[in-house]
A and B are shown apart, each in its own frame.
Chain A
Amino acid sequence: MMLKICLDILPDEEHRAWLEAKALEVSTGAKASKFYLAFSSAPRKTSKAPLTLRLAQLEQLRSLQPAFNPATWTIDELCRVTLMTCLPTETNHEVLEKLFGTADMRESVALYKGLSFLENAEAFRLRAIDGLRTNITPVFDAIALDNPYAEKYFAEQPWNQMVLKAMFMERPLYRVYGLDRRRNKTLALILRDYAHERWSAHRSVSTELWRNAVGFIDAPLLEDLQRVLNEGTGRERFAAALAIRESGLAEADTILDKAGIAPADLPEWDELGRAEEADKTLG
């Protein structure tokens, strides 16, 4: 399936021929070494150019990976992931585990991006959790952002670790797939503590933090949000107002009214996240 989609996307005939030949070898039980060589060679044999997709192609990819973000993918990455999907599932765990242990940065990124495409994706759960311990931002992003893997396979504890680390690494939370669906009380408390630590050090917190508090606003958290409404910047106040409003608190309308924020003026969470991300990119 992935092979067909990828061949349709590759613009260059030579690249298609290479991928097709390698995919055939890999899927018909060639030695692991053949897979390793092909996987490593993908940048040389295809290209590191970004993807250009037609809408139909993007839709096909999203039918396999609902969080697929074409802006973060290159042609060789797509080829690497395609080759991963061609490995027989009886052996792919052993073969890929070895590769995780020897991968360079770009290979690691492709490996983590590729996991959710595998039929036995769940078998790699511990590997994906372990991958979150990296200090390398692109590798962390490959797991945490634009990837449905964590939502689908992580228990609450690693999920919360991931979101907290994403905050620490100043990653854009709106790109964490399933963020709203995986909200939980523990995470809201962890992030509240985190906000307090930051405030004590006279540092701000990402406005996206409060997105995780929706539905879990108790009295102390409400106090914090009131504080943000009173003292925060424009975007911070929007975030606090959104969290209060979406939590369906009885007093929400009164609080917003007092803060002078009209519900109609509130942005979407994703808009807030995008604005934060854009600020960071501009430095």
Chain B
Amino acid sequence: MNFIDPHVHMISRTTDDYEAMRKAGVVAVIEPAFWTGQPRTEAGTFKDYFSSILGWERFRASQFGIKHYCTIGLNSKESNNEALAEEVMELLPMFAAKEGVVAIGEIGYDDQTAAEDKYFRLQIELAKEIDFPIMIHTPHRDKKRGTYRSMDVLEEHGMDPTMVVIDHNNEETVREVLDRGYWAAFTIYPNTKMGNERMVEIVKEYGTDRIIVNSAADWGVSDPLAVPKTAALMLQRGLTENDVHLTCYQNALTVYGKNGEMTEADWVDGFEVDQNALFEGNRVLRGQAPKAGSSKNIINN
């Protein structure tokens, strides 16, 4: 089966991960702009980060037969450095509408401060201006109130909920998110909080409409194979192939395909992969024999 991981920070992952993901059936990934573990102190590092996830990372993924898209945004955590945030906001219009950007995100709340609120709202307006979907990061602390507040603010700005994915849901938030018309994404964290056992139960209870599974794998303990593993468990526990197709592929494609940047045609017939190819003079290999061929066969299955 083919899968999409619509939330994964590949910039922090290895080529082994790319190989394993492709082997497991991941054909496309979305890399949301987020923080990188240590606070940035200069706008220039944001600029280079945005350029990396749009350029080098997309190239790296392509070398393993995976289509890579990204979202652009100022994350809530780093919104609290207001001087820096102002400069990053100046950068966003230069990156947000570029080819391969499928949404504004991850934006929303972390500590729910006034500064976070200010830049969240400005970025909702940016998304509206260019008619892009939004990916909402919901806070880990005070999650339920933070999630509800995010939706309140989106509605205050007249944002269409069908253009918004509320991410990192759990059993406590999912009902309200779906009832208010949003897409509800779930992050599968290994050994903790939202494991894939619980994900199966959620799909059994809430169905597959507007439910999306992702790994949110990054530089921390996380599993870039969370989507295909959850899919396997769903099938094992009696959910149908169609249930898996919707939650681990199609729903993500439907909402993140809304601005036209991500279409199935990008990968469905395979695309040419040449590991000899260069990106600005650099390649991913370190002396290995380069492979070339269709994205469907570039990794031995």
Contacts and interface: CB of A to CB of B under 8 A. Distances in A.
Contacts of B259: 44
Contact of B99 (A34, A101, A104): A104
B95 interface: yes
A227 B251 CA distance: 68
A135 B94 CA distance: 23
Nearest to B259: A44
A134 B55 CA distance: 15
A136 B95 contact: no
Nearest to A48: B99
A40 B280 CA distance: 21
B228 to A, nearest CB: 30
Contact of B47 (A43, A101, A104): A101
Contacts, number: 48
A37 interface: yes
Contacts of A104: 51, 54-55, 98-99
A36 B129 CA distance: 13
Contact of B93 (A33, A43, A44, A106): A33
B97 A37 contact: yes
A104 B57 CA distance: 13
Interface in B170-198: none
Say what secondary structure dominates the interface of chain A: helix
Given A33-B93, A37-B93, A101-B47, A107 B98 contact: yes
A260 B95 CA distance: 61
Interface in B103-157: 129-130
B274 interface: no
A233 interface: no
Contact of B260 (A32, A44, A102, A134): A44
Nearest to B92: A33
Interface in A94-145: 98-99, 101-102, 104-107, 134-136
Instruction: Determine which residue in B54, B99, B259 has the highest number of CB atoms from chain A within 10 A of its CB, and name it.
Output: B99
A147 B250 CA distance: 45
Interface in B77-95: 90-91, 93-95
A40 B55 contact: no
Contacts of B54: 104
Interface residues of A, number: 20
Contact of B97 (A32, A41, A135): A41
A44 B95 contact: no
A102 B99 contact: no
Interface string A142-173: 00000000000000000000000000000000
Contact of B281 (A32, A44, A99, A135): A135
B97 A44 contact: yes
A44 B101 CA distance: 11
A37 B261 CA distance: 15
A37 B95 contact: no
Contacts of B93: 32-34, 36-37
Contact of A102 (B47, B261, B281): B47
Given A36-B94, A40-B94, A44-B261, A106 B130 contact: no
A33 B51 CA distance: 17
Contact of A135 (B129, B130, B261, B280): B280
Nearest to B281: A135
A43 B47 CA distance: 22
A99 B98 CA distance: 12
Contacts of B55: 104-105
Interface in A56-94: none
Contacts of B278: 135
A99 B90 CA distance: 12
B281 A40 contact: no
Contacts of A32: 93
A17 to B, nearest CB: 15
A102 B95 CA distance: 7
B50 interface: yes
A37 to B, nearest CB: 5
Interface string B26-57: 00000000000000000000010011001100
Contacts of B200: none
Interface in A16-58: 32-34, 36-37, 40-41, 43-44
A204 B72 CA distance: 47
A102 B94 contact: yes
B96 interface: yes
Contacts of A41: 97, 130
Contact of A98 (B50, B94, B97, B130): B94
A178 B276 CA distance: 34
A76 to B, nearest CB: 10
30 contacts: A33-B93, A34-B93, A36-B94, A37-B93, A37-B97, A37-B129, A40-B94, A40-B96, A40-B98, A41-B97, A41-B130, A43-B99, A44-B99, A44-B259, A44-B261, A98-B94, A99-B94, A101-B47, A102-B47, A102-B50, A102-B91, A104-B51, A104-B54, A104-B98, A105-B55, A106-B99, A107-B98, A135-B280, A135-B281, A136-B280
In the A-B complex, list the 8 residue pairs whose CB atoms are closest, starting with the nearest.
A33-B93, A40-B97, A135-B281, A36-B93, A102-B94, A41-B97, A36-B94, A40-B98
Interface of A: 32-34, 36-37, 40-41, 43-44, 98-99, 101-102, 104-107, 134-136
